[in-house]
């Protein structure tokens, strides 16, 4: 269990414990009001305060539970992907079987001209783990791409 996950779990446990305490306090407060131990005004004020805290805690514990569930799903997906990859440790060529087993989809973006370079962004989405890499995506430079009917390198030589 990672440190962050353990921290979320600890915070979730504390929140659930406090929710249980608030339920008990609200019940006791109601009984005290019913038996005349506290005034109606005091009961209304305290119960509103407890209800507000309870709603905030329910929201926070729900968020924490979603985070923990997402983390668990991510770990499960990574394990599934690792078990798939184990079969293919010595890859020498890309086969259709390998492609369909490991990759969910490939997104090829429009080519862009940036100065002298032609850049095409390619996003590879792997099964179970999704896209790997930073948000920008890694650019694939294609130095031998044809530009205006001639290879880009020849065009530079002609104009020099």
| Residue 22: predicted pLDDT | 95
| Residue 158: predicted pLDDT | 46
- The predicted model gives 34-51 an average pLDDT of 94
| Residue 75: predicted pLDDT | 77
Does the pTM exceed 0.75? no
The residue ranges of every structural domain in the chain are 3-86, 96-159
| Residue 135: predicted pLDDT | 55
| Residue 103: predicted pLDDT | 84
Cα–Cα nearest to 120, from 139, 144, 146, 143: 139
- The predicted model gives 22-28 an average pLDDT of 95
| Residue 11: predicted pLDDT | 93
**pLDDT greater at residue 62 or residue 159:** 62
**pLDDT greater at residue 33 or residue 104:** 33
The answer to whether 129 touches 81, Cβ cutoff 8 Å, is yes
- The predicted model gives 77-88 an average pLDDT of 74
Cα–Cα distance, 47 to 67 (Å, whole number): 30
């Amino acid at each position: 269990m990672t440190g962050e996950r353990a921290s979320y779990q600890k915070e979730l446990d504390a929140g659930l414990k406090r929710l249980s305490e608030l339920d008990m306090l609200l019940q006791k407060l109601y009984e005290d009001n019913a038996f005349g131990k506290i005034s109606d005004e005091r009961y209304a004020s305290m119960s509103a305060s407890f209800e507000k805290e309870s709603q905030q805690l329910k929201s926070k514990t729900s968020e924490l539970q979603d985070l923990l569930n997402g983390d668990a799903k991510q770990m499960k997906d990574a394990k599934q992907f690792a078990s798939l990859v184990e079969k293919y440790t010595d890859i020498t060529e890309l086969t259709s079987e390998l492609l369909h087993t490991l990759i969910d989809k490939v997104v090829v973006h429009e080519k862009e001209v940036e100065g002298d370079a032609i850049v095409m962004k390619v996003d590879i989405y792997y099964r179970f783990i999704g896209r790997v890499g930073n948000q920008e995506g890694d650019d694939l430079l294609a130095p031998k791409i044809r530009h205006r009917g001639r290879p880009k390198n020849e065009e530079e030589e002609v104009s020099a």
